[in-house]
A and B are shown apart, each in its own frame.
Chain A
Amino acid sequence: MSAAVIVFPGSNCDRDIAVALEAALGTAPLMVWHGDSALPGVDLIAVPGGFSYGDYLRSGAMAANSPIMREVVSHAGRGVPVLGICNGFQVLTECGLLPGVLMRNASLKFVCRDVDLRVERGNTAFTGGYKVGDVIRIPVAHHDGNYFTDPDTLKSIEDNDQVAFRYCEPDGTVSDAANPNGSLANIAGVLNGNGNVLGMMPHPERLIDPLLGGTGGTPMFTALAEAVAA
């Protein structure tokens, strides 16, 4: 069992996700440079947060065209779990693994704060540690997290149960006030049709230690460890 973290020029949460994966899996993930073209035998791929290529042109656009992303797409097609966080989510939408795009926050400002998320889908490799309706608290930290898609795509996402998380109030109410960035339908995390690719703007890897303010992200990594061990 081995995990890989894809590192682009400008990635900056690569170490953070590696720490979280190592804590859950017991072994350090492979750090794979964007220019590499092979991903030998990995059971789990993480595309980390950061500012790949400085977010120049569009967040995630240039990273999505890196050599390694062909391998990531091909692994995703074979059912390997792929988790994209923040900039990783932007990369996964840009390369077509996930529907929609992440636009500039409605406030036009970078936002870093803890948010509450309602779990919308529980039975995946990523969310198996949560129950539908659970409210978890983890932080966002982004400038371009405003999820958008056309109405037909939104309908198909909703119909296929592809929304993993929505921004909500602490009691689980989904409201405009709880939406930190203007995302359509308060969508914070989206799955692909097969449920093995998850993109999310909030950072579960940042809250896995009570000393740092909470453990809302821990169940995700525990679930991933169990899923890839199975």
Chain B
Amino acid sequence: MSSPATRPEDLMGLTKGEYDTILDILGREPNLTELGIFSVMWSEHCSYKSSKLWLKTLPTEGPQVIQGPGENAGVIDIGDGLAAIFKIESHNHPSFIEPYQGAATGVGGILRDVFTMGARPVANMNALRFGSPDHPKTRHLVDGVVAGIGGYGNCIGVPTVGGEVNFDPAYNGNILVNAMTVGIASTDKIFYSAAAGVGLPVVYVGSKTGRDGIHGATMASAEFDDDSDEKRPTVQVGDPFTEKLLLEACLELMATDAIVAIQDMGAAGLTSSSVEMASKGNVGITLSLDDVPQREENMTPYELMLSESQERMLMVLKPGREDEARAIFEKWELDLSVIGETNDSQRLVLMWKGEIDADIPIPPLVEAAPEYDRPWTATPPRAVREPSEVAEPTDISEALLTLIGSSDLCSRRWVWEQYDHMVMGDTVGRPGGDAAMVRVHGTKKALAISTDCTPRYVEGNPVEGGKQAVAEAWRNVPSVGAKPLAVTNNLNFGNPERDEIMAQLVGAVQGMGAACEALDAPVVSGNVSLYNETNGQAILPTPVIGCVGLIDDAASAVGNGFTAEGQTIIIVGQTAGWLGCSIYQRDLAGGSNGAPPPVDLVTERRNGDFVRTAILDGLVSACHDVSDGGLAVALAEMAIAGGIGAEIDATPDIPTHAWAFGEDQARYVVTCSDPDDFLHRAAAAGVPAEATGTTGGPALTLPGAKPISVANLRETHARWFPEYMASR
């Protein structure tokens, strides 16, 4: 095949310097197939070239970690010979262009990352960010993304147990769709991607290859402009039915010992899967592209290598085990094709119609991948806002109703009722809790899972915001009674070639690293999504954290709804009334400015460990972490969830609105039937805790405010989402 006609360095997103490196590696001009392979392997999406330097600083190890970043997903030990395998991944750009299919294939991709490693997926989570509700595209995007997530997860039969949805004008041109999957495997049956050994058959399974999604990886590494709608043909279409068959067939084959290595074909398809397997195994691979199952006619090697057709896997088998594998895949009505063999050349050689179409040495393709230390200048600090600088509401109760009826704090029921959150029969409780809980099948244990990030904090102070994202995701886990074990992260930012964006990335990673260290929650997997900009307008920095924890007996967990009348309400943690960068300030007091609340990681750890222990000791009847909207919103949510009111008799020594809506960190609201025991233990542990009211009655009464009936709270909380989605 001839060289590309146009200037190659412009053709596929490579820089002139990167192109020169290719010339050095090959000692000649690359042909189109080879250039395509370098382009996707060196794309931001596959090479992490802008972020790698900083990602390396994150803590990734601990006694609980079986496998950290670098494989398809992270693996942690959950005892009794079992492992939890999980990862979060973005599908932002495809979801903006075609929301249903973009979101659906995002779910399909992350599911494959998890079952590739030998785990049966047991839970899906997500973190979604949309533009302003007033933006003309937002409703359509919400509708499509939610339906797509549900469409895929519901069909394959993995429960979608929780997540987060938020709106901000900064996402008008770039929505975020981050999907997380958690699976469970035996610790002695975990599969990796290293194709160690020569003369081994390379086997393709799953759907046939078509032209869909070609250059999806490079699309995920470029800014949008107004022509992005024209990029529709590169969006893949998901087939959850085939993925269900692929899942069952893979798990059945994994029960044998026929597999040497396995890798899903996700971004950059056959290219990245074959290169990664060969690279990790220090071998070469020769592929016969004529043998790749093809869905369309006249496909070229370039298209076959770069296609992102979904529901495909590449495996390396032990020699002679092909027929055994084929029998299993045929039972599940799937294609299996031997398309190549490993050898000791350390080269990727592609054969096409009897001739060599591409020949690339693998070590430099992988190791010479660019890594940039992009310039950045630290984000200027913002002034701290005293409560007195933030306007008081005319009426605390009206302000609370406005907040819980707002787009960001209202009930997400409209969303999660479209997700089958109960299939597989192990979901404890319903979505809307602090952390979702999924029982480990056949045991009493449960995994607790949360996703979180507060982008306005990260914008205000990337380091504190990065800490807070970890702290809040982490805090959700002890608030049900579970012990956090590890996190996965999805770093969503704008164009890293801009100083101020790179500064957000660097600061957030620094903050996250410190928090993961202090909270003993190493990062075991993750994903980076950069260039989330349209016409120079970047998204808010959004480093989403997914946290996974464990509780030994799911029956000892607590929910976040009031459970009975006459319980004492206790606030755990210090309430200083931090209103800067709060939801109250943003929505009711003229804009999100001022410094975000600082995160004291030692306090965070101490308070969280204390609350978890108190729950496990049976002292707590309900628990809710305090986050967006502060104490007032937390109390309202507990009243709504339990259908029980409360009388709050605190006499705050700070302005009431700061007490009610301040967003100080490391706080929980708990209810107890024996408050004395709880308070004594808190005092002994040095944990601030204060009895602040009693549950009961039909209304919630905040200090100095008129009562609000629980019915009114519930109705206000429930109203916004369905009304918004039904309007046009």
Contacts and interface: CB of A to CB of B under 8 A. Distances in A.
Interface of A: 9-10, 12-13, 15-16, 19, 49-51, 53-56, 109-113, 139, 141, 143, 203, 205-206, 211-213
29 contacts: A9-B241, A9-B245, A9-B332, A12-B156, A12-B244, A12-B423, A16-B424, A16-B425, A49-B423, A51-B154, A51-B157, A54-B239, A54-B240, A55-B155, A110-B150, A110-B151, A110-B154, A110-B420, A111-B417, A111-B418, A112-B154, A112-B416, A112-B420, A112-B421, A112-B422, A139-B422, A211-B554, A212-B422, A212-B426
Contact of B423 (A9, A16, A19): A16
B240 A51 contact: yes
Given A9-B332, A213-B429, A112 B424 contact: no
Nearest to A54: B241
Contact of B333 (A9, A112, A213): A9
A220 to B, nearest CB: 15
Contacts of B421: 112
A212 B241 contact: no
Contacts of A9: 241, 244-245, 332-333
Contacts of B241: 9-10, 51, 53-56
B493 to A, nearest CB: 33
The 8 closest A-B pairs by CB, nearest first: A12-B157, A54-B241, A16-B425, A51-B155, A141-B420, A112-B420, A110-B418, A110-B150
Contact of A54 (B155, B423, B428): B155
B403 interface: no
B76 interface: no
Contacts of B239: 54
Interface in B390-430: 416-430
Contacts of B245: 9-10
Nearest to B442: A19
A141 B156 contact: no
Residue from A19, A55, A112 with most neighbouring chain B CB atoms (10 Å): A112
B244 A212 contact: no
Interface in B126-165: 147, 150-151, 154-157
Contacts of B151: 110
Interface string B240-270: 1110110000000000000000000000000
A50 B240 CA distance: 12
A212 B423 CA distance: 11
B555 interface: yes
B155 A19 contact: no
Given A9-B244, A54-B241, A212-B427, 15 more contacts: A9-B332, A10-B245, A13-B423, A53-B241, A54-B155, A110-B150, A112-B154, A112-B416, A112-B419, A113-B417, A141-B154, A141-B423, A205-B425, A211-B428, A211-B554
B157 A13 contact: yes
A15 B555 CA distance: 22
A205 B332 CA distance: 26
A171 to B, nearest CB: 16
A13 B158 CA distance: 10
A203 B333 CA distance: 28
A112 B555 contact: no
Nearest to A205: B425
B84 to A, nearest CB: 19
Contacts of B242: 54
A113 B417 CA distance: 6
Interface of B: 147, 150-151, 154-157, 239-242, 244-245, 332-333, 416-430, 439, 554-555
Given A9-B245, A54-B239, A54-B241, A212 B420 contact: no
B157 A203 contact: no
Contacts of B427: 212
Nearest to B416: A112
A112 B417 contact: yes
A10 B155 contact: yes
A111 B239 CA distance: 20
Contacts of A213: 429-430
B425 A206 contact: yes
Contacts of A111: 417-418
Contacts of B419: 110, 112
Given A9-B241, A10-B155, A15 B424 contact: yes
A49 B439 CA distance: 21
A55 B241 CA distance: 8
A227 B430 CA distance: 33
Nearest to B437: A211
Contacts of B554: 211
A213 B156 CA distance: 23
Interface centre among A12, A109, A203 (most CB of B within 10 A): A12
Given A10-B244, A13-B423, A109-B147, A212 B157 contact: no
A9 B425 CA distance: 19
B425 A211 contact: no
B644 to A, nearest CB: 17
Contacts of B426: 212
Given A10-B155, A53-B241, A113-B417, A211 B332 contact: no
A53 B154 CA distance: 13
Nearest to B422: A206
A211 B418 contact: no
Nearest to A207: B422
Contacts of A112: 154, 416-422
B679 to A, nearest CB: 29
A111 B413 CA distance: 11
A120 B242 CA distance: 39
Nearest to A108: B147
Quick one: which of A53, A205, A206 has the most chain B CB within 10 A?
A206
A109 B418 CA distance: 7
A66 to B, nearest CB: 12
Contacts of A54: 155, 239-242
A161 B681 CA distance: 61
Contacts of A139: 422
- Most A CB contacts (10 A, CB to CB) among B151, B157, B426, B428 go to B157
A208 B574 CA distance: 42
A51 B627 CA distance: 38
Nearest to B150: A110
A139 B425 CA distance: 12
A15 B424 CA distance: 7
Nearest to B426: A212
A109 B439 CA distance: 28
Contacts of A113: 417
Contacts of A211: 428, 439, 554-555
Contacts of A141: 154, 420, 422-423
A213 B159 CA distance: 15
Contacts of A19: 425
Contacts of A13: 157, 423
Nearest to A143: B154
Contacts of B244: 9-10, 12, 51
A115 B333 CA distance: 36
Nearest to A16: B425
A69 B427 CA distance: 31
Contacts of A15: 424-425
A180 B429 CA distance: 20
B428 A212 contact: yes
Contacts of A12: 155-157, 244, 423
A50 B245 CA distance: 13
Contacts of B418: 109-112
A212 B554 CA distance: 10
Nearest to A113: B417
A16 B427 CA distance: 12
B301 to A, nearest CB: 31
A49 B155 CA distance: 10
Nearest to A208: B425
Nearest to B244: A10
Nearest to A139: B422
A139 B421 CA distance: 10
A56 B421 CA distance: 22
A50 B427 CA distance: 17
A213 B430 CA distance: 8
